[in-house]
Structure 1
Amino acid sequence: MYRLPKHRLLIADDHPLFRAALTAAVADAVPEAIVEATASLVELLAKLDAQPDCDLVLLDLRMPGSSGFSSLIQLRGLRPDLPVAIVSGEENPLVIRRAIDFGACGYIPKSASLGVIGEAVRAMLDGNEWLPEGLADGVDQDAAEQALTRQIATLTPQQFKVLMALADGRLNKQIGYELSITEATVKAHVTAVLRKLGLYRRTQAALLARRLLDASAGSLTPPMDELQSDVADED
């Protein structure tokens, strides 16, 4: 007898108790689902390599190897076809709106009941977007922020890694060593990042990257007086 293929989900959260609760909620809502859990971005990427047929990732905003929107943007760059939903204790409507603009298919607050989590998972497995009722209503980014969000989404995975390295003040030589590429290639990536984001200096890119790592940042576009940074510009 023909059987429908099982759904495969990956849960990425470094809190064991919540990871167990989320796994239970998914198992109750989708009994036939195959559910695996990870506690870091490195583990998540390894599992995705081993199991490329994943149907949905439930991703915490903060866990080892990632912070803020960095893991979401990285996953969207590597697997644009893979639905990724955020599961977070952060319930700021602006953060929820920004997650959706960065490509998340849903946003589940950690305060939600197991029943609501199950409802959300079923909706997203059916191809629908799911948002907490009332939390994302009436929140819109301004035109400049929306444009920047779209531009960030155009970065290649390697360009995004370079952008994140700039947040830590890494020099081109250091970035090249960490990514196993030449310094000339790093410079080319930095130039491409600046061009795509409409920026002129790597200090601006570094500040933007820091705000991506801080999901609660009020705006991704810092005022001009914040552009005086201790991050050195390189030729």
Structure 2
Amino acid sequence: MTVSEVLVIDDHPLFCEALSMTLQSALGVAKVATASRLSEALEMLAGGLSPEAILLDLNLPDVAGLDGLIRLKGAVPGIPVIVVSSMSDNRIVTSVVQAGAAGFVPKDSRRDVFVSAFREIWNGGSYTPDGYCPPAEAETERGPESNAVARLADLTPQQGRILQLVCEGKLNKQIAYELSIAETTVKAHITAILRKLGVQSRTQAVLIAQQARFASILHPPTQ
């Protein structure tokens, strides 16, 4: 399979430049678009950008953890998303795959590893890093984070955005103003969000979102 256009979402310019060069010189990608924030990427996609693959860092200025992947998959469900991150913890890789990523490539991988991984994915396969150990099926089914990811993946892009604002402590009136929609529409979305997540309150919905974020891993506390 030949991929002619790729979107790279990462806020490190030097890494974007190096990755773009690899995509173009080693894989023959004709055009590489870049975005430093998820919001910027979503605007580019809504504006008509049609990449055949997307490379996504988990930790961006406006999103962290699986939030970005889940929202991106909801916005462009037909485009393969490859997570490229410096955080390659076994638990994160598992959740990324469960959330629908086409693969996971550690940022510190050698150039030939990137090339092999992208070729494998673009030919219909998937890629996880060497040394990755998938959890046992029973363990995967029991894990609270796995359950949270599955529920969040069912939200529409708008519902995902509203849930993010709820997590930020915004009231319905504030959410309506920020998204330029009616407050009654916000209430309807929140009712649908609670139903999809299988919870009864906003607080419970926030807890579900927090289970999928891995904030403690992506932003470890300083000693």
Q: Deviation at 1:208?
A: 2.5
Q: Deviation at 1:62?
A: 1.2
CA–CA separation in structure 1 for the residues paired with 2:117 and 2:216: 23
* Cα deviation digits, residues 141-191 of structure 1 (max 9, x gap): 233534433222111111111111111111111111111112121111111
> Does residue 149 in structure 1 map to residue 146 in structure 2?
no
Q: Which residue in 2 is equivalent to 1:111?
A: 108
Q: Which residue in 1 is equivalent to 2:135?
A: 138
Q: Deviation at 1:6?
A: 5.2
User: Does the CA-based 8 Å contact 1:176-1:186 persist in structure 2?
Assistant: yes
Structure 2 counterpart of 1:142, which letter? E
Q: Deviation at 1:215?
A: 5.2
Which of 97, 102, 126 does residue 100 from structure 1 map onto? 97
Q: Which residue in 1 is equivalent to 2:185?
A: 185
Q: Which residue in 2 is equivalent to 1:194?
A: 194
Misfit runs of 4+, over 4 Å: 215-218
Structure 1 counterpart of 2:165, which letter? A
> Does residue 30 in structure 1 map to residue 27 in structure 2?
yes
User: Does the CA-based 8 Å contact 1:168-1:206 persist in structure 2?
Assistant: no
Report the TM-score, using the length of structure 2 for normalisation.
0.87
Same amino acid, percent of matched pairs: 38
Q: Deviation at 1:137?
A: 3.2
Structure with the largest fraction of helix? 2
Structure 1 counterpart of 2:140, which letter? Q
Structure 2: 5+ residue runs without aligned partners? 219-223
Greater Rg by CA: 1
* Cα deviation digits, residues 81-101 of structure 1 (max 9, x gap): 010010100011110110111
Within a 5 Å distance, the mapping from 1:51-90 to structure 2 comes to 51-90=48-87
CA–CA separation in structure 2 for the residues paired with 1:149 and 1:61: 14
Which of 4, 7, 10 does residue 10 from structure 1 map onto? 7
User: Does the CA-based 8 Å contact 2:149-2:212 persist in structure 1?
Assistant: no
CA–CA separation in structure 1 for the residues paired with 2:24 and 2:42: 22
Report the TM-score, using the length of structure 1 for normalisation.
0.83
CA 1:137–1:144: 2 relative to 1, 3 Å:
closer
* Cα deviation digits, residues 46-65 of structure 1 (max 9, x gap): 33234443111000011122
SS in 2 for 1:11: strand
CA RMSD of aligned residues (A): 2.2
Structure 2 counterpart of 1:200, which letter? Q
Within a 5 Å distance, the mapping from 1:204-215 to structure 2 comes to 204-214=204-214
